[in-house]
Amino acid sequence: MGMRGRTSDNKTNTGHMNSRIWQVALTVTALIAAACGGSGNTTTPPPPPPPGLSTGPDSCSGGMAGDFACSGLSLRKRVPNDAMGGGDGNDIWGWVDTLTGNEYALMGLTNGTAFVDVTDPDNPVFLGHLATNTMEAPWRDIKVYMDYAFIVADGAGAHGMQVFDLTRLRGVTSPEDFMADAIYSDFENAHNLAINEATGYAYAVGTNDCSGGLHIIDISTPNNPMFRGCHAAAATHDVQCVVYQGPDIDYIGREVCFSSNENHIEIADVTNISATTTISSTSYPNAGFAHQGWLTEDHRYFLLGDELDELDFSVPTRTHVFDILDLDAPVYVFAYEAATASIDHNLYILGNRIFQANYTSGVRVLEIGDLSNSEITEIAFLDSFPDSDAVDFDGLWSVYPYLPSGNIIASDVSNGLFILTLQ
């Protein structure tokens, strides 16, 4: 999710601005024509509005997939925001119905959450919309556990956490306005949410509770979430919690959380919910805003996106790499620098690949080599925001690479849902 309390998150949508300029120009033209056309001559009708961005399907060929610059990623389909209930886009997550095998995109919008069947990636179907519990807000976060979606919002008053039974999407034949199945109200706002599916615990962060740290919820009965405790060591922006299976034998089998805490990363042992402990806190050079990170699958490295270093230090798009061989003493290894200048936002790891959402430069797919030797290589991309390459907070918000089909779903603030395939 984007940063809290940053006025720069109030983005300028270039496409929308151009549309407004065009409309004003038409109005001025019409007034001039009316003033000069008193003889009763028929005026020439205005030209049609400029066409929108392509929606696909478009294979990546010659460096383009429709209107989008690309390499190695093809556009299966783009679903504009106004076709999913309107508003600007934000977070995205996925769900697979184990009964039918159907795949779904759960896309956050400023006014709620959209549900899209992406089983046929060339012909996605919008199934309906779950309205925000309170008011519109730019920050929404969605996670899934046991066929339920859990949805939080920031900047939306006392929103709490919406719980929605995803099996209700089965058999939907026309778009519906959905209601939540339950509302968890032990916090008002939350900036982000993580779920450890192995344990049935959810971790809301950036709430008005627990000093902004981990607000821990038992969701083992999904439609009846229960508060279980806090880990309030520091204000937390995002977190990943796992049953640890890495090289540090002191913590194997324990529930460990890896937090991005604005100016440092924190590792915490939350196995005993009533007595959580901080294992370590680690800073790093040229820290702007430690935004979000993810573990490599062997739990040896933690990769972090910093949302402000590009702005504050005029550096290229950076991914920070920490060696966590010893959880008590993480070591900062290096910062991978991309060829782009855009702000990095969310990243997720699948196998030896990193899937990044980098605002104005779109989806970036990186391949991990020997991280001890600083080996990261970009292998594919699709720029979802062709309007600009500026160091700005518009464009791609998040990406989800975990659908069994291998298709990738991604959310763009201005341009909607993207369904992509690696070539």
Joined together, the tokens standing for residue 340 give 């782009």
pLDDT at 28: 34
260: its two tokens: 């991005």
Give the pLDDT score at 101. 97
Give the pLDDT band of residue 53 (cuts 50, 70, 90). Answer: very high
User: Residue 2 has what DSSP assignment?
Assistant: P
Q: DSSP state, 168? A: G
Q: What is the DSSP string of 6-58?
A: -GGGS---HHHHHHHHHHHHHHHHHHHHHHH-TT-PPPPPPPPPPP----S-B
If we measure between CA atoms, which residue out of 416, 266, 408, 271 comes closest to residue 347? Answer: 408
pLDDT, position 33: 36
- DSSP states of 97-159: -TTT--EEEEEEETTEEEEEE-SSTTS-EEEEEEE-SSS--SEEEEEEETTEEEEEEESSSS-
> Would you give the DSSP letter of residue 373?
G
Mean pLDDT of 34-41: 37
Residue 372, phi then psi, degrees to nearest 5: -65, -20
Region of 157 (left: φ > 0; alpha: ψ -120 to 50; beta: rest) is left
**Burial (CB count <10 Å: 0-12, 13-18, 19+), residue 379:** middle
Residues in the chain, how many?
423
C-alpha distance from residue 204 to each of 136, 138, 233, 274, 378 (Å): 19, 17, 14, 16, 32
Query: Which sign, positive or negative, has the C-alpha torsion 338, 195, 186, 151?
Result: positive
Task: Examine the pLDDT at 2 and tell me if it is beyond 80.
Answer: no
Q: What is the pLDDT of residues 65-96, one digit of tens each?
A: 999 999 999 999 999 999 999 999 999 999 99
pTM above 0.85, yes or no: yes
Stretch 42-67: mean pLDDT: 79
Q: How far is CA 336 from CA 3, 290, 389, in A?
A: 22, 15, 19
- Please tell me the predicted confidence (pLDDT) of residue 44: 52
Q: How would you list the strands of the sheet with 182-184, edge to edge?
A: 139-145, 148-154, 161-165, 182-184
Per residue in 182-204, pLDDT (tens digit) is 999 999 999 999 999 999 999 99
The proportion of the chain whose per-residue pLDDT surpasses 70, expressed as a percent, equals 88
Q: What is the pLDDT of residues 130-164, one digit of tens each?
A: 999 999 999 999 999 999 999 999 999 999 999 99
Share of the chain above pLDDT 90, in %: 87
Question: Which region holds residue 244: left if phi is over 0, alpha if psi is between -120 and 50, else beta?
Answer: beta
Contact at 8 Å (CB) between 388 and 381? no
Model pLDDT for residues 201-233, shown as the tens digit of each residue? 999 999 999 999 999 999 999 999 999 999 999
Cβ neighbours of 122 (radius 10 Å): 12
- Does residue 291 register a pLDDT over 90? yes
Q: What pLDDT score was predicted for residue 52? A: 86
What pLDDT shows up at residue 16?
A: 36
Q: How confident is the model at residue 11 (pLDDT cuts 50, 70, 90)?
A: very low
Q: pLDDT higher for 31 or 406?
A: 406
Asked if residue 66 lies in contact with residue 391, where contact means CB atoms within 8 angstroms, the answer is: no
The answer to whether 20 and 45 have CB atoms below 8 angstroms apart is no
* pLDDT for the residue 3: 52
pLDDT of residue 45: 55
Q: For residue range 293-304, list pLDDT tens digits in order.
A: 999 999 999 999
Q: Which two tokens stand for residue 30?
A: 């019409």
Cβ atoms of 346 and 289 within 8 Å: the answer is no
